[in-house]
Chain A
Amino acid sequence: MRTFGYAPADDVASAVSLLATAPGGTYLAGGTNLVDLMKLGVATPDVLVDINRLPLHEVTRLPGGGLRIGAGVRNSELAAHPEVRRSYPVLSQALLAGASGQLRNMATTGGNLLQRTRCRYFMDATKPCNKRAPGSGCPARTGDHRNLAVLGASEHCVATHPSDMAVALAALGATVRVAGPDGERDIPVTELHRLPGDTPQVDTVLRHGELITSVDLPELEVARVSAYRKARDRASYAFAVGSVAAAVHAEDGVVHDVRLAFGAVAHRPWRAYAAEQALLGRPATRDSFLAAADAELAAAEPLRDNAFKVTLIRNLVAATLARLTGAGR
């Protein structure tokens, strides 16, 4: 671990201006991922702008409906928030499926979105990785990739985004509000994270110094019947091997509205638009659900050891939608 500067900020404007003048710096929120990466020599910021004192710890109702989640709201608080549990169960479930109780007590909404891949080559500074050391190569493609991407990857990077929460936010169509040196802007959460392409070192569309201030959830009737289902190698404290966030409204056996997003399959939480399109107006049956999953997964390009993820996601889509619609097996 190298020596670094530490600069606590008291408000958004000062945080942004502190980081704007520190090109090698980064924001520190819960630190649950960043501090690990610094210990491992994977992240080497020279300045940490501590944003924990910023007044971003509230969940408030938006005037036109929906919720505004302060970027500093802890994962455990958000998961337990009565309005989240009532109106967006998929989000509460996704949060509780992630990490451990201790980590959720520290991890924040903004930080969770910006956590980095757990690709085992990225996490080890003694090995090549295009995301960590651009141009050094991607040993994962031929090496250990059982839990890496099947959708949207590139020859340069097959990393996955590890968040559970982000998958739920993608399904809900949340908006990320950002403050930066050039002012504020809104980014749909589905457009926050990039696909790796030939610049896998760039995770998101955020520019240096931009700070997530809140995540806005739209009022969304369909979200009231929603769920997050995470498949994993152990029952607790394990990243997803594959996950599905789903919200569905079916009436008289027909799908009227549906939201689907997949986790642990791509460089970003994967909103399954093709699957949603394939389901609208279709009968709420297991066969339709499987066909919808197939429509999305047709683009999958699995590697040697992760083709099972296609089957896994397909099954998770069918099982989760069947449960939400009462369609049975």
Chain B
Amino acid sequence: MTAVTERAVGAPLGRIEGPAKVTGAARYAAEYPVENLAHAWVIQSPVARGTLDGVVVDPTTEDKDLLAVLWHGNAPRLEESDDPELAVLQSARISYRGQALALVVARTPEAARRAAQVIRLEITEEPHDALLTADHPGLYTPEQVNPAFPAVTESGDVAGAFAAAPVTVDVTYRTPALHNNPMEPHATIAVWSGDDLVLYDSNQHPPGVAAAVGAVLGLPAERVHVITEHVGGGFGSKGTARPNAVLAALGARVVGRPVKLVLPRQALFSMVGYRTPTIQRIRLAAERDGTLTAIDHEAVEQTSRLYEFAEQTTVATRHMYAAPHRRTGHRLVRLDVPTPRWMRAPGEAPGMLGLECAMDELAERLGLDPIELRVRNEPRVEPESGVPFSSRHYLDCLREGAERFGWADRDPQPRRRREGAWWVGTGVAGATYPTMAQPSTARVRALPDGRYEVAVAATDIGTGARTILTQIAADELGVGVGRVHVRIGDSTLPMASVAGGSSGSASWGWAVTGACRALRESGSEEAVYDSTEEVQRQEKEGKHAYGAHFAEVRVDADTGEVRVSRLFGMYAVGRVLNPRTARSQFISGMTMGLGMALHEEGVLDPATGDWVNHDLAEYHVPAHADVESIEADWLDERDRAVNPMGSKGIGEIGIVGSPAAIVNAVWHATGVRVRDLPVRLDKLLPHLG
């Protein structure tokens, strides 16, 4: 018996694929059984800059199981690509340590690794520069920052405002390189059938991978079939095709049989992108009552020699708080380092760390409650664009969050609360993330058994997308979720946008909604809906999700060890489609924020140009024991302007501001402002006395 009158959207439906995942039945890219499979191993550059002059396979060590060793001297030529990282094995030029220089293909994975260990690379090494500094002579202003924002914005008289302001803050915050580290590594099985290519590939965008891999191989996208049924996380590092997909396809072409390539954990640190380190100078000018008169936020970042990726670090500052005089900017330097890319909330996560910590410092200087400071600087419209907000309940998040967290009795003085060996403190920070949607197409079919098949080339990277699309379709069709079968994770399904920018549910849900409505209205057995026109007609500015993060931390007075006793997030994110999967998204973002605040750091050794802590034993992400209570909740927000569901993206906002709340709480506990993340014991210890 199906209660079709109950709405599925808004119900805490468990993940459709949950049982398959926990029983091991769900297949990830590397797990497909393929006949006659060969195995590949990547040989990565041991130098940060130079040329690869030769690859020597010692005949005395040649293995009977070795099938091929590909490098630029013998690999098939590829077509030009927008992404130079996909031009694998094409050039002698070495652009960073860890770059793929050769591909070994063998009958077994063991044989591939064994061969890789004895293959000799002839390399001419050149001096390299892998160290980001605030005054690097190579710094320049890029034309735009990701994806297409101006690099610099300025309005009013910033210099004049600072000169005239009674209270100013001028601080520099640093965030280290951060690595996405999905649990499932990047992996591909490539199978050629004539000129058609099938890729079982772990990614966030099957149609995009089909198009990109097809382009470098000189194939139309429809000749490349990308299957991405389940993905064990991506966090941005699988947003576009990565070298593994092209390498596997090349290897398979050359040896004439299917090839599997699974990147080892260490390779994920250099070959698939990471979050750039940032050096952010934030200046705030205010009246004595806390009214901001000027905001100036500039970020220094790095990119590789190979590809300019400019993170939009200070873009959130453009619309967060009101101030008549304002400037934001980005400067980049090209170094002999791996190419940085997107990592969960690129821009907002590091940028809001800088802004929200600077706001806390301003509140301290003014003797004003940090929440009240934010209240006094709430903009009526987007400060730079002048566009009204479609909805903005930031202050409600702060106020409701403060109520739930127990902020009211907070003594603003730092270093006042002691519990045994622990200094205890609390902190707050705001969160924001843009609300976006991208064109997608969905198809709905009425099946003979009374069920409906919904098809869209989306991916579920662990977010719950498959489940949410099922709920959306069920409501639009007026049936129970049991009668809806959602097909995703396949590039041959109707065109879908990337699982990125917290826009998956909005974009795919929009198309699914359209297709279901078309089916009902037409009464036919199949309907297809392409949201392109409607999405493109939409006003892009003024649409954001908001939140407030609250943290309580303990700092050991003897060791400087930091533990988070409470982390709470309060959000205004439009309509929450599934509270169960939404809570997971919020809490996982906050957990990653906790890691950013206290643990995560890609340590680049300037001498080798390599990450030295490139595994999960040495690159720390939070453990359960690092936080005692972590909770999220949300306001009931209605926003019909964003998309037909009224939903805002929730996949990234949890990592925005949560690091700042923790850093601010550490100050409140100890009186120490650590402006260089992560906040670890050695940075606190000298000041604890």
Contact = CB atoms under 8 A, between A and B. Distances in A.
A235 interface: yes
A49 B113 CA distance: 23
Interface string B583-609: 000000000000000110001011110
A242 B560 CA distance: 12
Interface stretch (B396-404, B482-490, B679-687): B679-687
Given A231-B561, A319-B558, A124 B612 contact: yes
A1 B605 contact: no
B103 to A, nearest CB: 17
Main secondary structure of the interface of B (DSSP, over half): loop
Interface stretch (A202-210, A255-263, A308-316): A308-316
Interface string A140-175: 001110100000000000000000000000000000
Nearest to A120: B612
Interface in A229-281: 231-238, 241-242
Contacts of B607: 139, 142-143
A139 B618 contact: no
Contacts, number: 91
B623 interface: yes
Nearest to B599: A234
Given A2-B117, A311-B686, A143 B561 contact: no
B626 A234 contact: yes
A295 B559 CA distance: 20
A235 B563 contact: yes
Interface in B541-568: 556, 558-561, 563
Contact of A316 (B114, B558, B606, B608): B558
Interface residues of B, number: 36
Contacts of B617: 118, 237
A121 B614 CA distance: 11
A197 interface: no
B613 to A, nearest CB: 6
A3 interface: yes
B625 interface: yes
A233 B117 contact: no
A126 interface: yes
A274 to B, nearest CB: 21
Interface residues of A, number: 34
B415 interface: no
Nearest to A44: B117
B110 interface: yes
A139 B608 contact: yes
Given A124-B612, A126-B46, A143-B605, A236 B686 contact: no
A233 B680 contact: yes
Nearest to B613: A120
B110 A232 contact: no
A41 interface: yes
Contact of B603 (A41, A144, A231, A236): A144
Contacts of B624: 236
A126 B614 CA distance: 13
Contact of B682 (A2, A41, A143, A308): A308
B421 interface: yes
Contacts of B421: 319
B610 interface: yes
Contact of A232 (B114, B561, B605, B606): B561
Contacts of B686: 308, 311
Given A233-B620, A234-B626, A236-B625, A146 B605 contact: no
A237 B625 CA distance: 10
A127 interface: yes
B604 to A, nearest CB: 9
A124 B46 CA distance: 11
Nearest to B625: A235
A312 B681 contact: yes
Contacts of B620: 233-234, 238
B622 interface: yes
Nearest to A1: B113
Contact of A41 (B117, B563, B623, B625): B117
A318 interface: yes
A183 B465 CA distance: 65
Main secondary structure of the interface of A (DSSP, over half): loop
B269 to A, nearest CB: 11
A284 to B, nearest CB: 17
A213 to B, nearest CB: 29
Nearest to B118: A2
B114 A312 contact: no
Interface string B661-689: 00000000000000000001110011000
A144 B558 contact: no
Nearest to A241: B681
Contacts of A126: 46, 610
A242 B610 CA distance: 26
Contact of B110 (A1, A118, A142, A316): A1
Contacts of B598: 233-234
A143 B682 CA distance: 17
A81 B612 CA distance: 38
Nearest to B604: A144
Nearest to B627: A235
A231 B607 CA distance: 29
B612 A236 contact: no
Contact of A120 (B46, B618, B625): B618
A308 B683 CA distance: 9
Interface string A215-235: 000000000000000011111
B614 to A, nearest CB: 8
Nearest to B608: A127
Contacts of B114: 1-3
B117 to A, nearest CB: 6
B623 A235 contact: yes
Contacts of A123: 618
A315 B599 contact: no
A311 B685 contact: yes
A146 B682 contact: yes
B558 A121 contact: no
A232 B558 CA distance: 12
B66 to A, nearest CB: 14
A319 B605 CA distance: 35
A319 B623 CA distance: 25
Query: Which of A41, A142, A235, A311 lies at the interface centre, i.e. has the most chain B CB atoms within 10 A of its CB?
Result: A235
19 contacts: A2-B114, A2-B117, A41-B117, A120-B613, A124-B614, A143-B606, A143-B612, A233-B598, A233-B599, A236-B623, A238-B623, A242-B559, A308-B686, A311-B686, A312-B685, A315-B558, A318-B558, A319-B558, A319-B559
Interface of A: 1-3, 41, 118, 120-121, 123-124, 126-127, 139, 142-144, 146, 231-238, 241-242, 305, 308, 311-312, 315-316, 318-319
Q: Nearest 8 pairs between A and B by C-beta?
A: A235-B625, A308-B682, A236-B623, A236-B625, A231-B559, A315-B558, A120-B612, A319-B558
Given A235-B626, A238-B623, A319-B558, 11 more contacts: A3-B110, A120-B603, A120-B612, A120-B613, A124-B612, A139-B608, A235-B625, A236-B624, A238-B620, A312-B685, A318-B558
Interface of B: 46, 110, 113-114, 117, 421, 556, 558-561, 563, 598-599, 603, 605-608, 610, 612-614, 617-618, 620, 622-626, 680-682, 685-686
